[in-house]
Amino acid sequence: MTDLGRLTDELEIRALLNRYARAVDTKDWDLYRSVFTDDAHIDYSSAGAAAGTRDEVAAWLEAGFAAIPWTMHYVTNVECEIAGDSATVRAMFYNPMQLPGTDVQSCCGGYYYHELVRTPDGWRSRNLREDNVWFVGRP
């Protein structure tokens, strides 16, 4: 892969992660689904949340996030290992939020581990595992 090709892939992957964060924070579940392949597996179990298919997890998030006043995901320190039409990604996240029934900010942080594939529509995640390392202000 040329340096320009790698740089292009990394920029497209970072844009995908940005769309992921925007989708969750704006509660745009169609946009959320578009980040993943149709057969993707998503695992948020380290935070006590859902694990399952893309559509199962999206439905779970849609129901649960309806009660959350706001969230704001920051995705940083993106590391990509690209091999042809597949990539593994490790990225840090910081997520301040206001949880239902509280009037103070809570926050958590950790890592996202993605397995990505290049599709005709661009890079998509076929597997996401969240490793929630810390959580402050859990009700």
Residue 107 predicted with pLDDT over 60: yes
Tokens of 16: 């995908």
Question: What does pTM read for this prediction?
Answer: 0.94
Report the pLDDT value the prediction gives residue 1, as an integer from 0 to 100. Answer: 56
Calculate mean pLDDT across residues 7-34: 98
Q: How many residues comprise the chain?
A: 139
For 121-131, what is the mean pLDDT? Answer: 98
pLDDT tens digits along 36-63: 999 999 999 999 999 999 999 999 999 9
Q: How confident is the model at residue 25 (pLDDT cuts 50, 70, 90)?
A: very high
Confidence of residue 72 (pLDDT cuts 50, 70, 90): very high
Listed residue (92, 102, 101, 79) closest to 131, CA to CA: 92
What Cα–Cα distance (Å) separates residue 38 from each residue in 89, 118, 120, 126, 137? 19, 13, 13, 8, 34
Per-residue pLDDT at 54: 98
Average pLDDT, the chain: 96
Q: What is the pLDDT at residue 2? A: 74
**Which of 91, 100, 71 is CA-nearest to residue 131?**
91
Rounded Cα–Cα distance for residues 88 and 90 (Å): 7
What does the pLDDT look like over 79-93, one tens digit per residue? 999 999 999 999 999
Pairing of strands 122-136, 36-43: parallel
Query: What structural domains does the chain harbor?
Result: 3-136 (3.10.450.50)
Residue 101 has pLDDT above 90, yes or no: no
- List Cα–Cα distances, 79 to 87, 90, 92, 113, 136, in angstroms: 10, 5, 9, 10, 26
What pLDDT score was predicted for residue 34? 98
